[in-house]
Amino acid sequence: MEDISYWLPLVWAGLLAAAVALYIVLDGFDLGLGILFPLAPAEERRDTMMNTVAPFWDGNETWLVLGGGGLFVAFPKAYAIIMPAIYIPLIVMLLALVFRGVAFEFRWVSKPKHAFWDLAFMGGSIVASFMQGVILGALLQGVNVKNGAFAGGTFDWLTPFALFCGVCVVIGYALLAATWLILKTEGDTAQWARSLATPLLMAMLLCLLVVSLWTPLSIPRIAERWFTMPNLLWLSPIPLLTTYAAYRCWHGLESITHRNDSDPFIWAVVLFMLAYIGLLISNVPFIIPPALTVWDVAGHPSAQIFSLVGAVIMLPVILGYTAFVYWTFRGKLKAGEGYH
């Protein structure tokens, strides 16, 4: 029993981390398209941009439900503490997702009077992305917990660091979206996306650099994790690989000899994953830094095992048919070709 209650929370934390990673990538380029919308005033281009994700957006957002649901399943105590702590940014994010989610359908059925839903799509996407960053920042800087319950104030999350994280996520998602468009479109739109991607990549790298300095400088336990021996050696591949991924992404965008349409997206995703892994390393084994570890808030083993059986059987199936749907709608979207 001792062993199980040690390993189960770790397995679940791993599963949740993977679900969140998938969410960030999948809904990242999806939300990013809305972030790029203001830069693409022409209706035809906006149609194309939305059509590249129209068959997927719903599945992409389901990973967010798995993130929230998974936290509730495996770490009900953490769920009960985190949700009140990030109350306002979370509610605002959910409402923003309402606007941009319905815009996928409403924009088409309201044509030609769809200006409002263009606005809803970009506003909703930008606000939702920004709030996801704010939530990330708020959790990184720590939550006030007393006696196993949230004991902070309504606006504890509102700090310069959290707001900066919000900006970073908006920039990062925009980069994912620009490289996604390079992959999925051709002609003018692809060309336009390529011209945006390089500055976005630079901005994203700047964000990574600032966060990588800001967190250890303001949070001693993160400085200790990264900058003491032998951790410094073990962890050095992370910044090195990040540099390499950034180089490959740039290479795919700008190189005369090697530029192509898939490298920028692939390496932007790798870049995202490395940043994400870096954040995990900073915080393991805390689920609510700096108060509670995954073991402190783990659900009952029976609940975790019962759900784990379902997850182990269903996740490969889900990944299988998710891949199938992406395969079905593979390839470049021709200009003017719509699914609607």
Partner 1 sequence: MELDPILLARIQFAFTVSFHIIFPSFTIGLAAFIATLLVRWQMTGRDHLYRLARFWTKIFAVSFAMGVVSGIVLSYQFGTNWSKFSDVTGNVIGPLIGYEVLTAFFLEASFLGVMLFGWDRVSTRLHVTAAILVAIGTSLSAFWILSANSWMHTPQGHEIKDGIAYPVDWMKIIFNPSFPYRFAHMFTAAYLTTSLVVAAVGARYLLTDKFHEEAKTMMRMGIGMVVLLAPLQLFIGDMHGLNTAEYQPVKVAAMEAHWDGTKPADLVLFAIPNEQEERNDFEIAIPNLASFIITHDTEGLFPGLKDFASEERPPVTPVFFAFRIMVGIGMILIGIGLIGALLWARGRLFESKWFIKPLSYSWSLGFIAILAGWWVTETGRQPWVVHGILKTADAISPVSAGAVLTSLILFVLVYTSVFSMGIYYINRLIEAGPKGAATDTKEGVASRPLSAAAEAAHEAIESKRSS
The contact set with partner 1 (CB under 8 A) reads: 54-56, 58-59, 61-62, 64-66, 68-70, 72-74, 76-77, 79-84, 87-88, 90-92, 94-95, 97-99, 101-102, 104-106, 109-110, 148-151, 154, 299-300, 302-303, 306-307, 310-311, 314-315, 318, 321-322, 324-325, 328-329, 338-340
Q: By C-beta, is 97 or 178 nearer to partner 1? A: 97
Q: By C-beta, is 32 or 299 nearer to partner 1? A: 299
The answer to whether 46 touches 37, Cβ cutoff 8 Å, is yes
Q: What's the closest the beta carbon of residue 167 comes to partner 1, in angstroms?
A: 23
Q: What's the closest the beta carbon of residue 289 comes to partner 1, in angstroms?
A: 18
Give one DSSP letter per residue of 77-129, joined into a string: HHHHHHHHHTHHHHHHHHHHHHHHHHHHHHHHHTTTS-HHHHHHHHHHHHHHH
Q: What's the closest the beta carbon of residue 147 comes to partner 1, in angstroms?
A: 10
Maximum alpha-carbon separation in the chain: 63
Q: What is the DSSP letter of 257?
A: T
The answer to whether 288 touches 145, Cβ cutoff 8 Å, is yes
What is the Cα–Cα distance from 203 to 112, expressed in whole angstroms? 36
3-state secondary structure of 115: helix
Which residues lie closer than 8 Å to 64 by C-beta, 6 or more apart?
Answer: 23, 27, 97
Q: Which structure tokens are listed for 279? A: 């954040």
Q: By C-beta, is 234 or 326 nearer to partner 1? A: 326
* Amino acid symbol at 135: I
Q: What's the closest the beta carbon of residue 162 comes to partner 1, in angstroms?
A: 17
Q: What's the closest the beta carbon of residue 255 comes to partner 1, in angstroms?
A: 34
Query: Given CA atoms 75, 18, 139, 291 in this order, what sign does their dihedral have?
Result: positive
Q: By C-beta, is 82 or 122 nearer to partner 1? A: 82
Q: By C-beta, is 139 or 275 nearer to partner 1? A: 139
The answer to whether 324 touches 330, Cβ cutoff 8 Å, is no
Q: What's the closest the beta carbon of residue 179 comes to partner 1, in angstroms?
A: 21
Q: For residue 293, give the H/E element and its range.
A: strand 292-293
Q: What's the closest the beta carbon of residue 284 comes to partner 1, in angstroms?
A: 23
| Residue 170: alpha-carbon gap to chain centroid | 10
Q: What's the closest the beta carbon of residue 213 comes to partner 1, in angstroms?
A: 32
Q: What's the closest the beta carbon of residue 51 comes to partner 1, in angstroms?
A: 9
The answer to whether 118 touches 107, Cβ cutoff 8 Å, is yes
Beta strands in 26-96 (DSSP E): none
Q: By C-beta, is 213 or 313 nearer to partner 1? A: 313
Q: By C-beta, is 14 or 220 nearer to partner 1? A: 14
Token pair 């962890």 is found at 235
What is the Cα–Cα distance from 325 to 327, expressed in whole angstroms? 5
Angle in degrees, 0-180, between the axes of helices 187-218 and 263-283, rounded to the nearest 10: 20
Q: Quick check: bond before 230 cis, omega within 30?
A: yes
Query: Given CA atoms 47, 49, 51, 54 in this order, what sign does their dihedral have?
Result: negative
